[in-house]
Amino acid sequence: MQQNLLDFDAQALTGYFTEMGEKPFRARQLMRWIYKEGESNFSAMTDIAAALRDKLTQCACIAAPNVMREELSDDGTRKWLLDVGTGNAVEAVYIPEETRGTLCVSTQAGCALDCAFCSTGKQGFNRNLGVAEIIGQLWWANHQLGKDAPTSTSSGQAQGNWKISNVVLMGMGEPLLNFDNTVSALRLMLDDHAYGLSRRRVTVSTSGIVPAMDRLREECPVALAVSLHAPNDKLRDALVPINQKYPLKELLGACKRYLEKAPRDFITFEYVLLDGVNDSVQQAQELVRLVRDVPCKFNLIPFNPFPQTHFRCSKPEAIRRFRDVLMGADIVTTTRRTRGNDIAAACGQLAGLVQDKTKRTMQCPVVLHG
């Protein structure tokens, strides 16, 4: 069986070549071909010795997940459905903007956390993705965007700069429950011989796996986004069940510890606004008190509906009032503009195809008040 070299970060690839009796610098050469040139054909790697190219052709491969379907939104957002085997498929989303291009990457086939308002969680959970399946999403997107000529949206606006400048691990799954593979993929994103992205431009989103947040701080600190969604434990227990294991006091303590080594001097808190559930002025005021000791900014996310949910998006006026309370407390607050909603590529809508090993039954979440 051929070894997929996308499964190796720099250290592992160096070890692979050492076992083959090759010099360590071969790993750097190969990484530049794979990630900077997007090359998967060993015979095209002209500065690598012919004998080594022949050997690699026999024993190794460079294989990203196969793309089953691609969808293009009216706003230029692109979504790929990628086959990860055994009946599972995950989704990656590219969001072009005037000054940057962001790729949203998945780390698991499904998600075990079952957050009440998230389509991915309602599909159940099958397995963690391997390194090749995570970094392969970035490899494929770079390859595809590089070969496609820029086109225009229906409004005549250019679809961004067609370059991936930012990566967010906010797709399907909880990245910190797939810690080792996620960190290996992060190291490839940051490695100057691979993608060379800034730590400030790579973001891991977590629902609050406290021990793994501490490990990430020590092993590979990148920008951190925390899915908060509630101002108190009672409500968050219902919306984000992992809160029952790592309640808000522990979570916010981990956030403060993370900032000691983070590339940014703030934590981003993600907050999905649900009509009549977590969007009142009183709850905004409670939120201000909750985070007063944590340098942070808030990203307010209007809820994006999906089939079989009872939740509704907060009304524009409620969103404005909620935002004004936070900003009045000198907390930097943005309201995320919904992108890719017409192709179910917006936040919380990614579902893919998941063969559910958790045997979770599909249940509509109960609408909570207060």
What the block records as the tokens of 282 is 């009183």
Calculate mean pLDDT across residues 118-142.
90
Q: What is the pLDDT of residue 288?
A: 98
In the chain, pLDDT over 70 holds for what percent of residues?
87
**Which residues are known catalytic residues?**
91, 347
Calculate mean pLDDT across residues 271-300.
97
CA distances from 150 to 71, 103, 157, 162, 340 (A): 16, 17, 11, 7, 18
Res. 94: pLDDT tops 60: yes
Q: CA-to-CA distance for 236 and 208, rounded, in angstroms?
A: 11
What is the distance, to the nearest Å, from the Cα of residue 191 to the centroid of all Cα atoms in its chain?
18
Candidates 211, 209, 217, 278; CA nearest to 244 is 209
Q: At residue 249, what is the residue type?
A: K
Res. 86: pLDDT tops 50: yes
In the chain, pLDDT over 90 holds for what percent of residues?
73
Q: Is 279:244 a contact under the CB 8 Å cutoff?
A: no
Please tell me which residue, 35 or 152, carries the higher pLDDT value.
35
Q: What are the structural domains of the chain?
A: 3-61 (1.10.150.530), 66-343 (3.20.20.70)
Res. 121: pLDDT tops 80: no
Q: What dihedral angle (degrees, nearest 10) is formed by the CA atoms of 164, 168, 171, 172? A: 130
- How many alpha carbons lie under 13 Å from residue 194 in its C-beta half-sphere? 22
Angle of helix 10-19 relative to helix 179-190, nearest 10 degrees, comes to 90
Q: What is the pLDDT of residue 364?
A: 31
Calculate mean pLDDT across residues 139-164.
63
For residue range 327-360, list pLDDT tens digits in order.
999 999 999 776 555 545 444 444 556 676 765 4
pTM over the 0.85 mark: yes
Calculate mean pLDDT across residues 152-177.
73
What the block records as the tokens of 347 is 């936040």
Calculate mean pLDDT across residues 274-288.
97
Calculate mean pLDDT across residues 124-140.
94
Helices and strands (H, E) in the chain, number of each type: 11, 14
Q: What is the pLDDT of residue 358?
A: 66
For residue range 58-71, list pLDDT tens digits in order.
999 999 999 999 98
Lowest mean pLDDT among 84-93, 313-322, 361-370: 361-370
Calculate mean pLDDT across residues 272-283.
97
